[in-house]
Amino acid sequence: MKMSLRNVGFKTCCMLSIAMTIVPVSSAMHIMEGFLPPSWAIAWGALTIPFILMGLHSINKRLKDNPKLKVLLAMAAAFVFIMSALKIPSLTGSCSHPTGIGLGAIMFGPAAMAVVALIVLVFQALLLAHGGITTLGANTFSMGIVGPIIAFSVFKMVEKLKGPRWLGVFLGAAFGDLATYVTTSFQLAMAFPSETAGFVGSLTKFMGIFAVTQIPLAISEGILTVIIFNAIASYSRKEMEYLHVLAKEA
């Protein structure tokens, strides 16, 4: 018997609860609390506001038209929370982690993921000391705006080229993950340019710190996203057809 969407959501919630109890509290690639100068923190926060408003409009419209999508959206948010809370030590005492944004971006579009990422980042900042409130705008911009846009665009490009769906999901999730880290490196390099090499030298430093662990993480995230996507497509085909992620069966 096929598993219902409600059962899938229940299992995801259980995974989320377990993850919240086992994930250690430490600093990671989310820019930590108070790390950015106030001017940059305010600028990034202001820049995210239009995207959040567009995301709220997109979510409200979809849920109003099809309330059954609430569980699917909650699952996408739980996936982001779990994936982005799993931290792996990187260089110079920093950490890397997957983002999980590709799955939701492919299903609901990049606009909705700005809101999802904001909610996830607030909970992680308050419960796990992962990221921070003052850096919420910068972290939302990298993980909730740039990452989802890249993930969605790559998925659609593969779809347009008639490539296999699994390849689009894999590349979308992987490149969305990498785009998040490249954006964060740009944010840090702009706020803290090198005294000798300027912005470029600082950017090279920050990107080099995370490349060692982030590239294999992006590949792993792509593979896991394909597995989760296929499971959802199997158990919730009608919802996926409504979202125009899957073609309607003849």
d(CA 211, CA 238): 39
d(CA 114, CA 123): 14
Q: Report the phi/psi class of residue 92: left, alpha or beta, with left for phi > 0 and alpha for psi in -120 to 50.
A: left
d(CA 23, CA 64): 35
Highest mean pLDDT among 94-98, 131-135, 155-159: 155-159
Tokens of 58: 């997109």
> Is residue 209 a contact partner of residue 94, using CB atoms and an 8 Å limit?
yes
In 3D space, the residue among 225, 211, 204 whose CA is nearest the CA of residue 99 turns out to be 225
Place of tokens 């969305």: 176
Domains of the chain with bracketed CATH: 5-13+32-235 (1.10.1760.20)
Mapped onto helix, strand or coil, the DSSP state of residue 96 is strand
Condensed to tens digits (0 to 9), the pLDDT of residues 114-152 reads: 999 999 999 988 887 777 899 999 999 999 999 999 999
**Single pTM value for the model:** 0.84
d(CA 102, CA 143): 10
Condensed to tens digits (0 to 9), the pLDDT of residues 43-61 reads: 999 999 999 999 999 999 9
